[in-house]
Structure 1
Amino acid sequence: MAEHDSTTEQPQSDPFEVVEAEHRTGARHKGVYLLPNLFTTGALFAGFYAIVAAMNGLFEAAAVGIIVAGILDGLDGGVARLTNTQSKFGAEYDSLSDCVAFGVAPGLVAYSWALTELGKFGWMAAFIYLACAALRLARFNVQAESTDKRFFIGLPSPTGAGLVATMVWLGASRGIDGNEVSWLVALVVAGAGLLMVSSVRYHSFKEFHIGRVPFKVLLGVIVAFAIVFLDPPLVLLTVAVIYVAVGLLLSLWRIRKGTPQA
């Protein structure tokens, strides 16, 4: 009779399996949470679509793709919190999706629309934006637990992407040739990138939670939607510019008063 190996074989884990921890019971389950990661995948797809659309000269569609990515990115975190499905995998996946949708896509869309005629200066401005977006996301990941939740340190990457996208959307919808405003676009793109890695504080509005609200608030939201749909690119660009300007003005005011930035 042949001798049997006395050692017990250990089951080999699949290298593509992800183990998530259940927050309430502490039990560990194989797999990933589907619902929030679907929103993240949608944002990633919208960013990829924006790149493809820009390559084909569809700049309005490309800009809308980035805006849609921003909406989906705002939903995935909220859905994860509401359904108690936050996970480390989801956070990492969201960060990678953001780098594509709010870093690569806006830089390439702006470059394709207006910066090609500037040669090296054009792709340099686009690269500054992309590199700063990646640095902004990396810094957010390591500072997320140690900063005031009411504020972002540096311009949030979705807002920076929205600023660039709505600028392209407004120009393309008005029939403006991007090459006619190439230097302005380069300044905005590079400036948005540098603001993302700055120490300027921007309000996060995270203290406002979805739930029961007064009737006036609901009416205000309806009016806001109506105003946006009057002229989406102009209204959204105006909102983005005001948000950027308010953060800068408040930072200058704090510097004048001698208040530390962060």
Structure 2
Amino acid sequence: MIDKDGPFPPFEPDGPSDPETGEANPRLRDIPLRFVVPNIITVLAICAGLTGVRLAFEHQFDIAVAMVLLAAFLDGIDGRVARLVKGSSKFGAQMDSLADIINFGAAPALVLYAFALDEARSLGWIAALLYAIACCLRLARFNVMMEKRDRPSWQGAYFTGVPAPAGALLVLLPVYLGFLGFAPDWYYASVVSFYTVGIAFLMVSNLPVWSGKTLGARIPPAKVVPLILGVVLYVALLATFTWETLTLSVLAYLAFLPYSLRMWRKRERQEAEALAE
């Protein structure tokens, strides 16, 4: 029996009822476009990630990597667009979390497996599995920690473990190196397998990773022009020397992780001293 509203269930951005109070959310007669646009961006990110998998198995690895990076870009803007247009919803939050599992867990693992890990046979497949599962665990932990309200405010500027989009960028390093001349033979695939497991460990670890949220949305006037020039320079390098730029970006991020840990410990000491006084 088809519902009078049509064959599809009605779109309810925040669900049929409030799980805390049990009160029914008001049903909107017409859904504002601002609630729909962020979800469209999330769906496009899923399409990009899955297309990257298809291209990888067709041995078009350069475009496959571009699709995964496009998925990361779309994932980065969907939440910001939602907040900008005041279109955040529980439905969108769930969609974004599920999209992250596909785009930053399954897609990079399969692209890397098609490029190099299959040369290591079972070892390579186990490494790909561990990475994908680690991404799922990392995202589940992130969702749970979002509900914690007793954390100090300064800890909100740090991720616990490497975030999923960064993990996808890091784990694809062997593909970047492959385009720089490293042949994906058995020896290379074996090394890549251990590297993949290492990135999986960083994602589920307790390593505090600075998120950059404390930079704020406002920029001092004297830094606007240097910022624009820096972004233009990076994009130009990425377009001209794609694989070299991506490789250096990964190495710079890995080198930043110990510095992030040092910042966390310094702030932790400051907070402990303030409490002692």
Give the conservation status (yes or no) of the 8 Å contact 2:208–2:264: no
Match of 1:156 in 2: 163
Distance in 2, Cα, partners of 1:125 & 1:50: 19
Q: Find the residue that maps to 2:64 and give its secondary structure.
A: helix
TM-score under structure 2 length normalisation:
0.78
Distance in 1, Cα, partners of 2:232 & 2:242: 10
Q: CA deviation at 1:251?
A: 3.2
Q: CA deviation at 1:176?
A: 3.4
Q: CA deviation at 1:224?
A: 3.3
Paired letter, 1:187: F
Give the conservation status (yes or no) of the 8 Å contact 1:21–1:28: no
- Which of these residues, 134, 137, 146, is aligned with residue 136 of structure 2? 134
Distance in 1, Cα, partners of 2:115 & 2:128: 11
- Which of these residues, 162, 173, 184, is aligned with residue 179 of structure 2? 173
TM-score under structure 1 length normalisation:
0.82
Distance in 2, Cα, partners of 1:75 & 1:58: 26
- Aligned ranges for residues 23-42 of structure 1 at < 5 Å? 27-29=26-28, 33-42=35-44
Task: Return closer, same or farther for 1:174/1:236 CA change in 2, 3 Å cut-off.
Answer: closer
Distance in 1, Cα, partners of 2:27 & 2:267: 51
Match of 2:202 in 1: 195
Give the conservation status (yes or no) of the 8 Å contact 2:123–2:190: no
Task: Return closer, same or farther for 1:117/1:208 CA change in 2, 3 Å cut-off.
Answer: same
Distance in 2, Cα, partners of 1:258 & 1:122: 39
> How many positions carry a matched residue from both structures?
247
Distance in 1, Cα, partners of 2:172 & 2:236: 17
Higher share of residues assigned helix: 2
Query: Any idea what the Cα deviations from partners look like across 1:19-72, whole Å, max 9, x if unmatched?
Result: 1259xxx85426582111121111111100110011101111111111111111
Give the conservation status (yes or no) of the 8 Å contact 1:46–1:65: yes
Give the conservation status (yes or no) of the 8 Å contact 1:43–1:101: yes
Task: Return closer, same or farther for 1:253/1:20 CA change in 2, 3 Å cut-off.
Answer: closer
Aligned-CA RMSD value: 3.0
Task: Return closer, same or farther for 1:167/1:201 CA change in 2, 3 Å cut-off.
Answer: same
Give the conservation status (yes or no) of the 8 Å contact 1:39–1:76: yes
Task: Return closer, same or farther for 1:220/1:14 CA change in 2, 3 Å cut-off.
Answer: same
Distance in 1, Cα, partners of 2:230 & 2:52: 29
Distance in 2, Cα, partners of 1:256 & 1:121: 40
- Which of these residues, 232, 243, 247, is aligned with residue 253 of structure 2? 243
Q: CA deviation at 1:254?
A: 6.6
Match of 1:6 in 2: none
Distance in 1, Cα, partners of 2:39 & 2:45: 10
Distance in 1, Cα, partners of 2:170 & 2:37: 28
Match of 1:122 in 2: 124
Task: Return closer, same or farther for 1:204/1:256 CA change in 2, 3 Å cut-off.
Answer: closer
Paired letter, 1:233: W
Distance in 1, Cα, partners of 2:203 & 2:71: 18
Unaligned runs of 5+ in 1: 1-10
Match of 1:59 in 2: 61
